[in-house]
Structure 1
Amino acid sequence: MAIIFITGANKGLGHEAARRLVELGHTVLLGARDAERGRSAATALGVRFVRIDVTDDASVTAAAADVAGHEGRIDVLVNNAGINHRKADPGSITGADALGVFDTNVAGAVRVTAAFLPLLRESADPAIVNVSSGMGSLAFTHDPNRAEGNVVAPLYAASKSALTMLTTMYAKALPDIRVNAADPGYTATDLNGHNGFQTVTEGTDAIVALATEGPGAGSGRFVDREGDIGW
């Protein structure tokens, strides 16, 4: 069984993925920025809480040191922490808005991955799962028959596109580690005001599948609950 660290896991997709992975027998470390909510969620699931704010270098470093001191390694890192941004009018979007979204959704994954690489390299079969979105897909956002084709969310979509490309590049740069991106699909969570048509369990299918793949599974892929997809 694997040791799996999940960021942003006190609610939504991260929490449900943690619940399902625990149910499968894995050791889950629940990462969250809010200590009270994180501890409450971890207690409910019977897992260990590790405080981590993915936008803060010191917090990320401290979280990695915490895991190094307790578990000594992780087998899977799930970069799940993310924020939405609801402004659609380019005239109202500011540079500060963009920096805030990218700081969490992209730079956050960069910070956490860098800090946890030494712990992943202690694993016999390490993997990274970046929770991206079909909102970052050129094909999906141009398809009027898909939910992604009918939503205008410039900063969120751009950040998820960047995260998917980061996955591709990291897969090339880290041949000893599987690095893949998950598209949860349009799932009802706090992030979208519970407007998605999928349940949170359905939304975690791709995350759980990538987190539990065996040795030899591919790297640099974009995967939804039906399997590998294009971009």
Structure 2
Amino acid sequence: MYQPRAHTPRGHALTPARAAALAALLAPVSTLVIEDDGTGEASASPAVSVGAHLPDRTVLVRSYSKSHGPDLRIAVIGGAAEPVERVRVLRSFGTGWTSRVLQDALAHLLTDPAAGEIVARARLAYAERRDGLAAALAERGVPTGNRDGLMLWVPVADESGALVTLAAHGVAAAPGSRYQIVPSGPHLRIATSRLHDAPFPLPELADLIALAARPR
């Protein structure tokens, strides 16, 4: 299983060349590929899938809670017939059934032109907020590198000290150690989707994050 775009927390996105390379690597084995497209249509990157090369061994799971509303906790799956049918059967006869009301609501939203325009504006706004904060941090000597997603992966000198500094100024962040299997240095995960709700202007927020990133 992997995230094809808006990777948490690095913001990576699968490219056609990378998809082809992965498919070539997986071709000799029988591994089932599961693509977790959790950001869905809120992502700024185009959808690229290994399934274009391995259609009989790839399943795409696309969530719509980020793009169409957090109360719409529903995802759609598609791909290889055998694993998709197994999921359908298990959910039909278990406690994990999906509300028909939510299914109908999503179907309406995906075919309604007005809803599509709203999602398109939201996608652009999310990208502008992320890129705006990234540019402001780069000017202050703090590199990030996220090109997609709803967050920034910010390198810091000391994770605990940076969290305390931000919290003292009313800013919450997530410790990067939660998202690392192999440690790659201290980081913070900074959410960017609601920067318009910040209690101070973007330059001031960038100053604060840059301050927290420096050695104590």
Q: Same fold (TM over 0.5)?
A: no
| TM-score normalised over the length of structure 1 | 0.29
Q: Rg larger in 1 or in 2?
A: 2
